[in-house]
Amino acid sequence: MKKQMKLLAGAVALLAGALAALPAQAGDNNGNFMVRVLATGVLPDTSSGAISVNGTPTIPANSYDVSSEVIPALTLSYFLDRHWALELFCCFAKHNIDGKGALAGVNVGDTWIFPPAVTLQYHLDPIHGFKPYAGLGLQYINFFDTSSNDLGGTMHIDDAVGFTLQAGVDVELGSG
């Protein structure tokens, strides 16, 4: 638990320091940096295998479901040129783990995740104040404060590395 708290504190301090070093504006079509506050979907892949409780495989693969969540997030993008950008994504999400099939109705547990991601994005030219983009990247997924509910005992979820895909539209709110 102390390791996760140190990781969390370090990530928050790093992000706060990066944001403090930025100019007051959020960026524009010609800027080098852009900060976004947005809503994002965290959609876990539950095909990873069995869940172990107290070190014993207890919940077989495909007999549980992890909730998808829509949460607020913060991003920091650095534009390499007019179209290409690198983005650092940060958020936290709490997910419920529920049984399905023979375990329907069982509250297996819940967990918090911290899934920072780095993404390479391609931004199209603006179209009447709208600037579409798409990105591909990697993320490190840290699970913390995990609990086993109806099953009792303790549950541990290993951290993981995953891919991230994104698509979106930046909307110009005013001209500078």
pLDDT in tens, 64-99: 888 889 989 899 999 999 999 999 998 899 998 888
Of the candidate ranges 85-94, 145-154, 157-166, the one whose mean pLDDT is the lowest: 145-154
Residues contacting 115, CB < 8 A, separation 6+: 42, 89, 91, 93, 139, 140, 141, 142, 162
Residues contacting 166, CB < 8 A, separation 6+: 119, 121, 133, 134, 135, 136, 137
Q: Has residue 162 got a pLDDT over 60?
A: yes
The pair of structure tokens assigned to 16 is 């706060």
This prediction's pTM: 0.66
CA–CA distances in Å: residue 152 to residues 50, 82, 90: 17, 54, 31
First to last CA, the chain: 46
In this structure, are residues 118 and 137 in contact, taking their beta carbons and an 8 Å threshold?
yes
CATH pick for 2-171 out of 2.40.160.20, 3.30.1490.20, 3.90.550.10, 2.40.50.360? 2.40.160.20
Q: Has residue 55 got a pLDDT over 80?
A: no
Q: Domain boundaries in the chain?
A: 2-171
Report d(CA 88, CA 70) in Å as an integer.
18
